[in-house]
Amino acid sequence: MNKFFTTGLGAAVASVLPAIASAQDTVGLDQRINDVFAGSTGWFVNLIFAPLPFEIAGSSFPWIVLWLVVGATVFTFYFGFIQLKAFGHAISLVKGDYSDPEDAGEVSHFQALATALSGTVGLGNIAGVAVAVGIGGPGATFWMILAGLLGMASKFTECTLGVKYRNEYPDGTVSGGPMYYMTKGFKERGLPLGGFLAVVFSIFTIGGALGGGNMFQANQAHAQISGIVGDFPGWITGIVFALVVFAVIVGGIKSIAQVTEKVVPFMGILYVAAALVILIVEYDKIGWAFGQIFDGAFTGLGVAGGFVGALIQGFKRAAFSNEAGVGSAAIAHSAVRTKEPVTEGVVSLLEPFIDTVVICTMTALVITISGVLLVDPTTGNFVLNEAGTSIQTIDGSSGVQLTSAAFATGFSWFPYVLAVAVVLFAFSTMISWSYYGLKAWTYLVGEGKTKEIVFKVIFCLFIIVGAAANLGSVIDFSDAMIFAMAVVNITALYFLMPIVKREMNSYFARLKSGELKKFVD
């Protein structure tokens, strides 16, 4: 592995450094690339994120968000509020109470959960929540929590199917995800077009992995680091990230899981602990903050667009944060060691809960309590600090500043903690999305070590490009591809949810009868 590391990735990096350095020195090159890319892909971005053809109480609603929320609502009712009924059992499974190390698979329930969480817990929990609260007011938090709770049912559906229809190979490795349950599940039900949907989904996944799950993360991490230590060329950050990421992903899902099971808890505890300290210090304002959240959710006082504006912002942030229904998490959860598909569906319930209900809510509470969120009397938007100067643009391009300002009210040194959090979030997201992209890649081109290495090298080269350039349209296109995955995935879930219900009923009946017992080593 070390030899390949120096001759494979190292040689590839060396070959592109002159081009990257040249790009850094060429004024306007990024913008020209951005303009060309936008001209050819803008139609796709506009299609995916287009608002509905009608407004609700004067506010527009992106159709893709409605698609995700409606799907989550359907699955919630169809499976009888599984997110509530199975929550306790999910914790038991993560603890390993029912885990048999002899079962097929590559990682434990906890490792699979950590890997999937590392792909969703990221910059959206820091900057995205600030955007939602900054535009929709504290009331957006209520709708964000509700959408997160509903999204738990989407995760259950897709992750159960991911394990049921995964491929298990003689060497102990597995491949699973939407592309496999689309082909096998549709065939089992005698439905057409399963193979076509799988190919389209795989293409979207690769595009999303290289852009939104890779370039964007490297770009934002470099911006945060340079804001702390001073400006320096982005390709330096890119090379460091590329080398570290490659060292992890070259070992496959087991190596990724071993890292994420340590990084995810650490970064989550670090961030939540900082939030808790502020909430403890300002404990007398917690009741007031929740009052603001509930009042704003239904009255929308001082919020542009009223309570519908708060609803839209909350639903949008939850959908964009936890990726419930996108299908990405089903790829990670498919690698779990189990012979019962429903067990991993149950474990995956915890993902939107941790990501949205816990971490996003903590961010929103700190912003609300800190006092940095003041109303612009002209627009009615919550975008000003105490000095009356804007710390967040309406398009959300400075969302991190609002979160940083909020935490800085309790810790003057918090920007340094935030920088660490951003780096960890970006790193963990990249290694998880490398696995998602890899499985989509091998579905299209076939399994094999050489084919896998080719994708991993390409993925790491894109890290360098992402950190070195500011290709906004490339990132927009990649984000659009991630949510295009949801269009294909949820369509498939509607056709396959009867299979999940059959599996669910069988599993819980056997659990209730005592046929399934806790594993004792």
| Confidence tier at 124 by pLDDT (50, 70, 90) | low
The token pair at 259 is 């890292």
Q: Is the model more confident about 226 or about 308?
A: 226
Report the 3 state secondary structure along 216-259: HHHHHHHHHHHHHHCCCCHHHHHHHHHHHHHHHHCCHHHHHHHH
482: exposed, middle or buried (Cβ count in 10 Å: 0-12, 13-18, 19+): buried
Full-model pTM: 0.82
Instruction: Provide mean pLDDT across the span 413-436.
Output: 81
Asked if residue 211 has pLDDT above 70, the reply is: yes
Given a cut of 90, is residue 423 above it in pLDDT? no
Query: Strand ranges (DSSP E) for 106-155?
Result: none
Vertex 76: Cα angle to 72 and 82 (nearest 5): 130
405 pLDDT band, cuts 50/70/90, is confident
Q: Residue 19: pLDDT above 60?
A: no
- Strand 174-175 and strand 374-375: the pairing is unpaired
pLDDT for the residue numbered 53:
81
Please give the share of the chain, as a percent, with pLDDT higher than 70.
78
Query: Is 128 within 8 Å of 216 (Cβ atoms)?
Result: no
The continuous run of DSSP H or E covering 346 comes out as helix 341-348
pLDDT of residue 55: 67
- Rounded to 10°, the helix 252-281/361-370 angle is 30
State residue 372's pLDDT score.
66
Q: Give the residue, 107 or 88, on which the prediction is more confident.
A: 88
- Kindly state the average pLDDT of the residues 223-235: 79
Residue 374 backbone phi and psi in degrees, to 5: -115, 155
Residue 18 confidence (pLDDT):
52
Six token digits for residue 372: 């940095």
Position 264 pLDDT exceeds 70:
yes
Amino acid 379: pLDDT: 54
Q: Where are the alpha helices (DSSP H) in 282-340?
A: 286-298, 306-322, 328-333
- The per-residue pLDDT of the chain, averaged, comes to 79
Q: Domains of the chain: which residue ranges?
A: 2-210+223-510
In angstroms, the CA 514 to CA 237 distance is 54
Cβ neighbours of 181 (radius 10 Å): 31
